[in-house]
Amino acid sequence: GFLIPYVIMLVVEGMPLLYLELAVGQRMRKGSIGAWKIISPYLCGVGVASVVVSFFLSMYYNVINAWAFWYLFHSFQDPLPWATCPLNSNRTGYEEECEKTSSTQYFWYRQTLNISPSLETSGNVQWEQALCLTLAWLVVYLCILRGTASTGKLEQLSNPKTWISAATQIFFSLGLGFGSLIAFASYNDPSNNCERHAIIVSLINSTTSIFASIVTFSIYGFKATFNYESCINKVILLLMNTFDLEEGSLTADNLSEMKDYLMAAHPQEYAQLLPQLKNCSLEAELDTAVQGTGLAFIVYSEAIKNMEVSQLYSVLYFAMLLMLGIGSMLGNIAAILTPLTDSKAITSRFSKEVISGFVCFINCIIGLIFTMEAGNYWFDIFNDYAATLSLLLIVLVETIAVCYIYGLRRFEKDLHTMIGRKLNWYWKTMWAFASPLLIISLFIFYLTDYILTGTLQYQAWDSTQGQLVTRDYPSYALAVIGLLVASSTMCIPLGALLTFIRKRLKRERVSTVA
């Protein structure tokens, strides 16, 4: 159900918009703000919006690297700390919360996040996570100092959320709309074949994403089956001990019939036992799939703990996760730093090292919010709302700007000069018609889904049940969500308005002098 929208988004949005941003950066030789300002002074807000979105992303994204450091440091223990549940304070059994869930989920929610029961309970900053976050930002800053050259380079189909998720995955994985592609492409040789790079990068990126998803959901399927079978075995053991049944008389195949028989034959005893009997369902286990960052930490750590030489595979996996995360962070920071270093007013007063250090320091300080006990809930807010709608608007304006303001024919001539080849029908059709129309459709899907959903909700960890429960966002969280969306999207019209006022005032001054 997700693969079809994903492929469509790749063909209609991913490859065309990746090529567009690479070509704009390579042609204009500026960061996001400067590049769109060259195309039209009224588009300066597009670059500012990209910088704001990249700043929001940088604020929370490096927390993932902090968690990766945390897991990496714990990977040297034998056995792995998430392999089994810890003993309780009396050392007479396992921790109650861990027994109700799993050892991997307990390590994630309790020992890593020490998560609060709701967003309203903020809690304190977790100093271990704060130190890991500081380390993550220090690594990013040291990599920045080395420069760009060293960083390397069918039910579901009717559900609007599926298409929005597919678009978000494409935008995030390729870095569309953040300004980082324009920033990196501005360093390219003017004759670099960015068309070929756009195709190769898109295909490799999507192939690895699909491969990773196959591995991930295979692991999750195994985990769901294991939990289901464990649940069945516990129910069988409980019934056999309570009703003194013969060994082998009760199996997974006849469990349902035996439940009905025991309820009819021993109604009082069965009624007393009923609260302890879990309703085991494989579908329910699969429906409670871990989402977001939990996929990388809970699901994979579940697989790693069952491997031979689990410490080795754990170190390799989380080291790989760190490499990917640091690489993504460098792209995000480049999208912020390039427009700043393009400004002569800033570079004349401060060196690049000072500017980079200031940006990293501010992000690190703000990022401490995500290391609080309620930090994961704020992380989800930023992850869900800081970029999704904003990216759709940014890339929509980008395609319209290139095709209808700068001019598609003019841009085609620029590309012919750069790569020595005429633009084929696919790119022109996607840029001029298909991509903008699909983005507008996604806007309508997004707004329709928001209206139909009503009150926005989030998943909170209930330690008494050992599972996630759905809660409504408080009013102040809804206000923050509104500010996150408005602060980036409003940059585009405000930038155009300020440019219009500035030009109008300049024209009036000239006419007054004359």
- Residue corresponding to tokens 């996604």: 442
Sorted by sequence, the CB contacts under 8 Å of residue 122 that are 6+ apart come out as 116, 372, 373, 374
Residue with tokens 């730093």: 337
Q: Annotation-wise, does 328 bind a ligand?
A: yes
Give the pair of three-digit tokens for residue 211: 């491969």
Q: What are phi and psi of 437, to 5 degrees?
A: -65, -40
How many CB atoms neighbour CB 410 within 10 A?
10
Q: Distance between CA 51 and CA 252 in Å, rounded?
A: 57
* Whether 243 contacts 227, CB under 8 Å: no
Locus of tokens 């899907």:
445
Q: What are the start-end ranges of the H helices in 75-189?
A: 96-100, 103-106, 127-145, 160-174, 180-185
Note the helical H segments in 44-159: 44-74, 96-100, 103-106, 127-145
Q: Where are the alpha helices (DSSP H) in 368-490?
A: 375-385, 388-400, 408-419, 425-429, 435-453, 475-489
Pair 395, 404: CB distance under 8 Å: no
Report d(CA 173, CA 169) in Å as an integer: 6
Q: Say if CB 466 and CB 94 are below 8 A apart.
A: no
> According to the annotation, is 324 in a ligand binding site?
yes
Q: Nearest 5°: CA angle at 232, between 227 and 235?
A: 125
Sign of torsion, CA 413 415 418 420? negative
Within a 10 A sphere around the Cβ of 325, how many other Cβ atoms? 24
Q: Which long-range contacts link 214-219 to residues 24+ away (Cβ below 8 Å)?
A: 216/295, 216/299, 216/300, 219/299, 219/300, 219/302, 219/303
Could you tell me if 335 and 51 are in contact, meaning their C-beta atoms sit under 8 angstroms apart?
A: yes
- Phi-psi sector, 414: left (phi>0), alpha (psi -120 to 50), beta: alpha
Radius of gyration in angstroms for the set of CA atoms belonging to the chain, rounded to a whole number: 27
- Distance between CA atoms of residues 27 and 8, nearest Å: 28
3-state secondary structure 346-397: HHCCCCHHHHHHHHHHHHHHHHHHHHECCHHHHHHHHHHHCCHHHHHHHHHH
Q: Tokens for 297?
A: 């930490």
Q: How many other C-beta atoms are found inside a 10 Å radius of the C-beta of residue 54?
A: 28
Name the binding residues for Na(+).
173, 205, 324, 328
**Which residues make up each annotated binding site?**
173, 205, 324, 328
